[in-house]
């Protein structure tokens, strides 16, 4: 009788193949590279947060690439599965390198990102591997906040530049569903001070878009003073903006932004399918209000925690 010495090896090979197929996807190694400007405290703080959170998964290998060292050769050498870019100055270069690696751009605004990728906010066909985790709050969230501050706020003033005007399309659609009117004004960095007076006169409240050609260190104080003179409150987009004189706003901290990004990466590992949209708005947020401004304008609304809970409940129900 002949003994088939190859039979055990055959069974072992089949067993090994089946075992490999049964390994959960999250256990497969992922190489991630974080691009940042090491001289930026803001970027370094965020990088520390996402590094600490991503390191909880032992299958993820993290590497740091300084913006100054960014090149095709560096990326080929590191061969990352996912790039996380924290530096606005690196967006243009990453696009020009025309790499096919999935790239998450964080700590940017829609207006700034659009300067480098004009097809935004919808670039799934032209730039299918680039995704932007923007600082801008989703339009629906901002309009919901406005409605909860006062049911009398129906006519909402919005100042945009050519760089940010495309954001109006989505904003108007959501506003129409909520029976709100968007009072739009096209401006530039030179005439924004004259525009703010007209917007304040014709609007119940002003919704500030995160466009630094309009709202910046030079123009902000004049914008706030003019709107206050007309008794027209402003919804701000940052903690500093609100403290300076905006009535309220929804903002996301670095911790909240980092949590959202890392959760997305873990979810992608499991799902193994790309994100649906080029723009990813913050999932986690807080409501901040300026009670001194509210008091001077004789406006009364729930405290910040209550407002936050109402907005979260609305988004969860949706």
The answer to whether 290 touches 246, Cβ cutoff 8 Å, is yes
Rounded Cα distance between 262 and 270, Å, is 13
Q: Where are the domains of the chain?
A: 28-135+260-266+274-280, 139-251+285-317
Residue 282 half-sphere exposure toward CB, CA atoms < 13 A: 26
Whether CATH 3.40.50.2300 fits 28-135+260-266+274-280: yes
Rounded Cα distance between 121 and 110, Å, is 7
pLDDT, residue 29, reads: 55
The Cα-based distances of 196 to 103, 145, 184, 230, 292 in angstroms read 37, 21, 11, 10, 21
Do 28-135+260-266+274-280 and 139-251+285-317 fold alike per CATH?
yes
The answer to whether 156 touches 206, Cβ cutoff 8 Å, is yes
pLDDT, residue 316, reads: 86
**Torsion angle in degrees (nearest 10) through CA of 266, 117, 216, 258:** 10
Which stretch of DSSP H or E encloses residue 185?
Answer: strand 181-186
The answer to whether 265 touches 32, Cβ cutoff 8 Å, is yes
Rounded Cα distance between 307 and 147, Å, is 11
* DSSP class per residue in 96-155: HHT--SEEEEEEE-HHHHHHH-TTTT--TTTSTTEEEEESSPPHHHHHHHHHHH-TT--E
Rounded Cα distance between 305 and 123, Å, is 36
pLDDT, residue 275, reads: 85
Least Cα distance to 112 among 163, 71, 157 occurs for 163
- Parallel/antiparallel/unpaired status of strands 234-235 and 205-207: parallel
pLDDT, residue 28, reads: 45
- Per-residue pLDDT of the chain (318 residues), as tens digits, is 434 445 544 444 444 444 433 433 333 458 999 999 999 999 999 999 999 999 999 999 999 999 999 999 999 888 999 999 999 999 999 999 998 999 999 999 999 999 889 999 888 889 999 999 999 999 999 999 999 999 999 999 999 998 899 899 999 999 999 999 999 999 887 788 888 999 999 999 999 999 999 999 999 999 999 999 999 999 999 999 999 999 999 999 999 999 999 999 999 877 666 788 999 999 999 999 999 999 999 999 999 999 999 999 999 886
Look at domain 139-251+285-317 and name its CATH class: alpha beta
């Amino acid at each position: 009788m002949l003994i088939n010495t190859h039979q055990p090896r055959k069974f072992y090979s089949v067993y090994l193949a089946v075992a490999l197929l049964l390994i959960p996807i999250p256990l497969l190694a992922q190489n991630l590279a974080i691009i940042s400007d090491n001289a930026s405290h803001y970027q370094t703080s965020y990088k520390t947060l996402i590094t600490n959170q991503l390191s909880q998964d032992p299958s993820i290998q993290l590497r740091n690439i300084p913006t100054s060292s960014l090149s095709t050769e560096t990326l080929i050498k590191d061969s990352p599965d996912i790039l996380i870019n924290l530096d606005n100055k690196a967006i243009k270069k990453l696009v020009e390198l025309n790499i096919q690696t999935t790239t998450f751009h964080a700590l940017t605004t829609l207006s700034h990102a659009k300067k480098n990728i004009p097809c935004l906010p919808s670039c799934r066909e032209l730039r299918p591997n680039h995704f932007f985790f923007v600082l801008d709050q989703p339009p629906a969230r901002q309009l919901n906040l406005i409605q909860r501050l006062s049911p009398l706020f129906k006519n909402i003033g919005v100042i945009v530049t050519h760089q940010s005007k495309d954001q109006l399309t989505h904003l108007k659609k959501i506003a129409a569903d909520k029976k709100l009117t968007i009072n739009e004004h096209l401006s530039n960095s030179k005439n924004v001070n004259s525009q703010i007076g007209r917007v304040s006169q014709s609007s119940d409240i002003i919704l500030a878009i995160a466009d630094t050609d309009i709202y910046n260190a030079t123009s902000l104080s004049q914008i706030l003073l003019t709107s206050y003179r007309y008794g027209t409150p402003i919804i701000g987009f940052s903690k500093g903006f609100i403290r300076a004189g905006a009535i309220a706003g929804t903002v996301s901290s670095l911790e909240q932004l980092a949590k959202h990004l890392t959760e997305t990466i873990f979810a992608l590992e499991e799902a193994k399918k790309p994100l649906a949209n080029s723009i990813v708005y913050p999932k986690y947020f807080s409501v901040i209000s300026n009670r001194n401004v509210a008091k001077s304008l004789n406006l009364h609304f729930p405290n910040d925690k209550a407002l936050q809970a109402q907005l979260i409940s609305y988004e969860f129900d949706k």
